Amino acid sequence: MLACDDPRVFLETLPGFLSSGVGSGSAGKEHSPFGRTLREALLGPGCEIWADFSAPAAWRGDFWSSWYLAADARGSQYDVLRKAIADNDGLDGHLVCLALRGAGFHGQENRNWAVREGNLHLSLGLECDFPAAETGVALTMLPAVAVTDVLAEWGVPAAGDGRRGIKWVNDILVAGAKLGGVLTAVRSQDGRLRTAVLGIGLNVLAIPEVPPTPFTPAVTCLADHLPRADLSVAGVAAAVLRAVARRFEQLETEGRGPLLEDYRRESLILGRRVTVQAGGPEDSFSRSGRVLEIRPDLALELSDDPTPVTGGRLILEPDHLP
């Protein structure tokens, strides 16, 4: 078990603890079938992972019930967590999976996620009981809105050249460059959402090498916008975990309305001209127009197209286009 009052110190010292084996395999849930599934899928039999340490208050340890941290994950925590939940028929509590480094991470549509040490690679499992029809899309919005909460808390501006915001559906941008992205998968039973898995990747201290595309013309990291000596992966992780817990509790008590309102407020596409590309190589298509509205189901209403856009990859066109 590991207790630490300062989360920045915790992650800065974690790699040394992992390599020395101190505390490895010491906690109960790591030896449960669920814990063994996570351990072996992330690191392989006999490798070291931390579980069920005593979390500091800054991490909202009262909300998060189980913790799994790896110095070097050999596969996608998001996929491993989804499979473990399916294999064990659910989840008991709220779970954190955090990797300092790793391979096989991905974003939407299994697109590769470039990993660099010094950035946040976080997957969260949430036990829940929501009406599926009303709440599913809210859980898609939740991690993106939580991240913009953190950016606001850390002083990234909402307007001007350094503007933060959400690029539909799940990219986080600062000053026109991609800072991170989020994923959501839900599991339902009898019309109720029983579990949600959230994936959150944020470039904190390092800019990964990502070839520019029309969808992602540039990438950035938080350190380029917040040159502060106390910026750390641990500090951002603690803030993200607090924000997710706060937004989840808000969803439980107030419904999806506040999340939708704040998702729209943080949107970078409302009023902008966009092109959305969708489909596969043989049946791909694109639709363009100025975004008039983001519907409650996150479908887009475009000025030049009467049919709502429900999926695809979005390109932000230059502001001067009519």
Which stretches of 5-119 are assigned E, i.e. beta strand? 50-51, 66-73, 94-102
Confidence of residue 3 (pLDDT cuts 50, 70, 90): very low
| Residue range 217-267, pLDDT digits in tens | 999 999 999 877 778 888 899 899 999 999 999 999 999 999 999 999 999
In this structure, of 32-46, 71-85, 90-104, the range with the lowest mean pLDDT score is 32-46
Token pair listed for 215? 């969808």
Whether 4 has a pLDDT exceeding 80, the answer reads no
Q: Are 189 and 292 in contact (CB under 8 A)?
A: no
Higher pLDDT, 188 or 47: 188
d(CA 16, CA 13): 6
Q: Output the pLDDT for position 81.
A: 87
Q: What is the pLDDT of residues 305-314, one digit of tens each?
A: 888 999 999 9
Give, for 196, the enclosing helix (H) or strand (E): strand 192-202
pLDDT single digits (tens) 155-189: 888 866 668 999 999 999 999 999 999 999 999 98
- The answer to whether 182 and 122 have CB atoms below 8 angstroms apart is no
Residue 32 pLDDT class (50, 70, 90 cuts): low
* Range from 20-29, 73-82, 97-106 that averages highest in pLDDT: 73-82
pLDDT tops 60 at residue 15? no
Contact at 8 Å (CB) between 119 and 100? Answer: no
Task: Return the higher-pLDDT residue of 72 and 135.
Answer: 135
Residues 183, 189: Cα–Cα separation, whole Å: 21
Residue 9 has pLDDT above 50, yes or no: yes
Is the pLDDT assigned to residue 280 strictly greater than 90?
no
Ranges 19-23, 57-61, 134-138, most confident: 134-138
Paired tokens of 177: 């460059």
Q: At 124, list the tokens.
A: 């969260």
pTM above the 0.85 mark? yes
Q: What is the mean pLDDT of residues 108-116?
A: 72
